[in-house]
A and B are shown apart, each in its own frame.
Chain A
Amino acid sequence: MFDWLTFITLFPIIGVIILFFIPKNNGTVIKNIALVVSVINFLFSLVLLVGFRANASMQFEINKVWIKNLGINYHIGIDGISIFIVLLTTFLTPIVILSAYNVLKDPTYKDKAKEYMALLLILETAVIGALISLDLILFYLFWEMMLIPMYFLIGVFGGEKRTYAALKFFIYTAAGSIMMLVAMFVLYMNAGGVSFDLAYIISHVHLTATEQGLLFLAFFIAFAVKVPMFPLHTWLPDAHVQAPTGGSVILAGVLLKMGTYGFIRFAIPLFPKVAVSYAGVIGIFAVIGIIYGALVAMVQKDVKKLVAYSSISHLGFVVLGIFAFTNTSMTGAIYQMLNHGISTGALFLLVGIIYERRHTKEIKEFGGLTKVMPLYAVIFLIATLSSIALPLTNGFVGEFLILSGTYISRVMQWSSVLTIFAATGVIFGAAYMLWMFKRVMFGPLTNEKNKNLKDLNLREFTYLFPLIVMIFVMGIFPNFFLKRIEPSVNSFIENNINTRVYAKNSRVTLKLTKNQKRSKR
């Protein structure tokens, strides 16, 4: 069988190689090549969706020896947990590339179109690579590789304090990953020093409870920095505010998901018992993140910073859903990862559009934009409503599943209380988003500079339109996605939680199954 996964992962690199040979002053050609490559890659990635069977198995799996001497395999594959995040990546990349056409007309960046496009394509490769890796070191390799393009995207193309933000981003993530690397050594050694393959290590490790706790902590911190979870979130507002629009979209849309994805793929299956016993504590931090993110977002004066803090809040829901360990909540968490990528991606793109026109993101500079930019206002409204989880939009499905699943969780301590607090986050979310929308869009058009703003042009509409379509498709037909996600989640819970944690404790298992029945009803 043709190795589609590797092909999709490496295809953007082909684009980078082509770009290398094009003179740098040939901006239009460079942009078009990058766009074509990314669109083609998206079309290829649809092959995965067509070939994907809705069951729990790993699909498109390839397992080859890569570095024999180090016990590293080229082991890749996708299942219901990762397939849509891969598709989200290939879906967002062309959108981001199209959105950057205008930014690169700016005289400062005019000659740097090639770098910008090449970095986006390398980033796509690294992200897809990390999502499909089933070998610890292969994953680590792509995980670290993501840093380089993102570092340059923020540092070269960012705002005034870009070097500070880029460095902070890099060091936070690198520090987290080093802990993970040490933990990988320990796991490798403990599993007999033969292979870094995830499945091999899971079936061969024998760790004491203390060791498990420490190693889980190492993995957890590495991923929690990326999510980012309170209190490790401080790099995110800086990175988002300084990053160019495209960088923000990719950062929020895909990179943050790597953290939550890492929890599901690595941290929990490797240490299910610790994950379960600390589920309550993690849940508390998640809820703090939800409420804290929302409250801080409320007082922001800068639109982009507001959206950045809303990310912290939204990702809090995802973490809560994952560590509640019910089928419903975890499916919801994965769904919410996709939603967040789409709705926050759209919001960042929209903020980028007014920033391009006005060179400011201050809320107080705007007001009454509906009068001059009606189409823009409509799309902004849809993205806002999706972000605050209005029914019929995608956000509703995800948050509803998470909250209803978490409420009945017996694994997470105090889950019902946590759910109630988390639900207030939804209300806060509505408050800060709508308040921001009101201040930017409605009211009198007082600022002179805003009177001649142009509405969306065709290019801008073209890249926003797919996102709007997806908001409704995912909100109205969630089953198309859920039925592919669910089998993997069910078997994940069954294999990792029910079998490995509660196998000996029949009472809890019984409760859990009752729970599941209830949740299915």
Chain B
Amino acid sequence: MMPIEPGILEQLGMIIPLLLLVVFASSILLIDVFAESEDRAYLGYLTAFFLFVVLIFVAKDFNNNNVSRQIFHSSIVIDKFGLIFTGIFIIAGILTSLGSIDYLKKYDIAIGEFYSLIMFAITGMSLMVFSTSLMTIFVALELMSLPIYALSGLFRVNNRSLESSVKYFILGSVASSILLFGMVLLYGATGSVNLVTIGNEITTKYTNLKTVLSSDPIIIIGMLMVFIGFMFKTATAPFHMWTPDVYEGAPTIVTGFMSVAVKAAAFATFLRVFGLSFNNDALLHLANGAISNTSWIQVLNILAIATVIIGNLVALNQRNVKRILAYSAIAHAGYLMIGLVGYFITKDPITYSALVLYFLSYTFTGMGAFIAISIFEPKDTNKVMLDDLNGAAYKKPFVAATLAIFIFSFAGIPPMSGFFAKFYLFKSAYVNAGLHIPVIIALIASVFSVYYYLRILVHLYMKKDYGDVDVKDYKTTAGSVIALSIAGFFVLYIGILPDQYITIIKHSFLSLIGG
């Protein structure tokens, strides 16, 4: 299965979005160097504009792309699946760069690197979802992670921010090395780094259960290690421990970007790897035999349920808004994990589109919520307690109203997008994949989640004392307002008319399974 590769120029032509991202990221750095003024706000708008240009290219590619094409010696495939996720990352990037303008100004951080790091991270994410080779995946993963490590430590004088950065870097590196080691084992067992070849190898080698057991368990260990590597990035229990501290310490706007884009990238690659390499029934048998009669799916199910429960229960008692959202991010990772398991079981466009729709909704909801929270953050503290929000709604009614929309979307209350995203995800997992118990547990847990989500709104709207926050802290300029309006609009729009998005996403399904 080696398609004839097009010429080098044509190959480059196909990755124009990626190339543009690199060019724009570098040019932001250059503009920053030669800029005279101390005010860097225009860089935020410029980045958003650049990303929007890339988004147009991605959309154009998506419309024209009918056949997935493997390029660069089958290490990259340009297909609808990758393009749709690239779109999601870029949207997150646009919202981040628009929303960061006020936030960075509040902390007197006038650096252009912020924007170029965001763009480099997006490049890494996009490359990662396009990759069909373990090597490219690893390189792209590092390209994504390194800017994020740097961004978490953006506040160089703030201890929490530094702690967050170092913690994320050390733990992230360990996870990366586990991932890399797993990849090495897979390479050793199958003799290839190409995902499709690995998949074929597994199918031919291990069709019979007995041969698996008698031959090397290396492939199982390799798979497990790759799994762990991705689960770390997606913040799934039991590899979620870093999340609250890192999310709390990182600058709020970076937290938003991390919780949305990085998670989406890791999940998408998860899908890609397991869609291409481990997509056959043989794998299920293989796992059945290897992990003492407990099927692969059941292990994942238990982890998904654990993630949902841990995320939701621990969030109940937090008073720090960023920590609440961090645990809620873990809970959402759990919901997504259930969707992912559902997809592994059915491998059909319905479970797949449910998963991607959830990401789309989560991108707008999550980014919007973090931008709104970053506006309410008291100056120079890098910390938002629930009491800091008291009565803030009456000083910034627009920001608070959009935050309410995002919170209801998180909680899955119609007519916000979070409702249909959750509804479709659970429906497909329940009806199509037959995951009854996990879905029921997740639904019950999401009733608990209503409590901590609403607590944010209670403080925002229902506490009469206005707190001792300086009014000047709540400064908003056009950037945040535009970002919040975009996010709010789409949360409502997807919530009311999700059909066309589902149809578009379903179109991208074939490319994922290698069709």
Contact = CB atoms under 8 A, between A and B. Distances in A.
Interface stretch (B27-35, B167-175, B407-415): B407-415
Contacts of A147: 413
Contacts of B502: 67, 69-70
A171 B450 CA distance: 7
Interface stretch (B63-71, B103-111, B285-293, B437-445): B437-445
Contacts of B450: 170-171, 174
B461 A181 contact: no
Nearest to B349: A69
A162 B427 contact: no
Interface string B416-440: 0001100110110011100000011
A141 B426 contact: no
A166 B462 contact: yes
A111 B394 contact: yes
Contacts of A24: 397
A100 B463 CA distance: 21
A111 B397 CA distance: 11
Given A111-B394, A170-B450, A185-B430, A69 B461 contact: no
B10 interface: no
Nearest to B394: A111
B436 to A, nearest CB: 9
Interface string A176-197: 0010011001001100010000
A291 interface: no
A67 B462 contact: no
A438 B364 CA distance: 58
A171 B451 contact: yes
B444 A141 contact: no
B462 A144 contact: no
A368 interface: no
Interface in B205-224: none
A475 B430 CA distance: 50
A243 to B, nearest CB: 13
A171 B462 contact: no
A67 B417 CA distance: 13
Given A24-B397, A111-B394, A193-B431, A171 B447 contact: yes
Contact of B451 (A66, A167, A181): A167
Q: How extensive is the interface on chain B, given as a class?
A: 35 or more
A401 to B, nearest CB: 36
A170 B455 CA distance: 12
Contact of A137 (B423, B430, B432, B457): B423
B431 A182 contact: no
Contacts of B424: 70
Contacts of A280: none
Given A70-B502, A137-B423, A145 B414 contact: yes
Interface in B447-499: 447, 450-451, 454, 457-458, 461-464, 497-499
B387 to A, nearest CB: 13
B508 to A, nearest CB: 14
For B394, B408, B458, the residue with the greatest tally of chain A CB atoms inside 10 Å of its CB is B458
Given A111-B394, A175-B447, A182-B440, A145 B415 contact: yes
B506 interface: yes
B413 A69 contact: no
Interface in A112-146: 112, 137, 140-142, 144-145
For A111, A147, A174, A188, the residue with the greatest tally of chain B CB atoms inside 10 Å of its CB is A174
Given A69-B506, A111-B394, A182-B440, A156 B462 contact: yes
A155 interface: yes
B505 to A, nearest CB: 9
A178 B432 CA distance: 19
Contacts of A152: 461
B151 to A, nearest CB: 35
A151 B420 CA distance: 21
For B413, B451, B498, the residue with the greatest tally of chain A CB atoms inside 10 Å of its CB is B413
B335 to A, nearest CB: 14
Interface in A12-26: 24
Given A163-B458, A174-B447, A69 B414 contact: no
A189 B430 contact: yes
B454 A167 contact: yes
A352 B201 CA distance: 76
Nearest to B353: A69
A108 interface: yes
A144 B431 contact: no
A148 interface: yes
A188 B427 contact: yes
A68 interface: yes
Contact of A144 (B353, B414, B427, B499): B414
B458 A167 contact: yes
Given A69-B353, A182-B439, A182-B440, A144 B419 contact: yes
Contacts of B499: 66-70
B503 interface: yes
A170 B450 CA distance: 8
Contacts of B353: 69
A185 B462 contact: no
Contact of B427 (A142, A163, A185): A185
A163 B462 CA distance: 7
A145 B408 CA distance: 10
B307 interface: no
B365 interface: no
A182 B423 CA distance: 10
Nearest 6 pairs between A and B by C-beta? A69-B502, A141-B414, A67-B499, A189-B431, A155-B462, A185-B430
30 contacts: A67-B420, A67-B499, A68-B503, A69-B350, A69-B353, A69-B498, A69-B502, A69-B503, A70-B498, A70-B499, A108-B464, A112-B394, A137-B423, A141-B414, A141-B419, A145-B413, A148-B413, A155-B462, A163-B458, A163-B463, A166-B454, A167-B451, A170-B450, A171-B447, A174-B447, A178-B444, A181-B443, A182-B439, A182-B440, A185-B430
Interface of A: 24, 66-70, 108, 111-112, 137, 140-142, 144-145, 147-148, 151-152, 155-156, 162-163, 166-167, 170-171, 174-175, 178, 181-182, 185, 188-189, 193
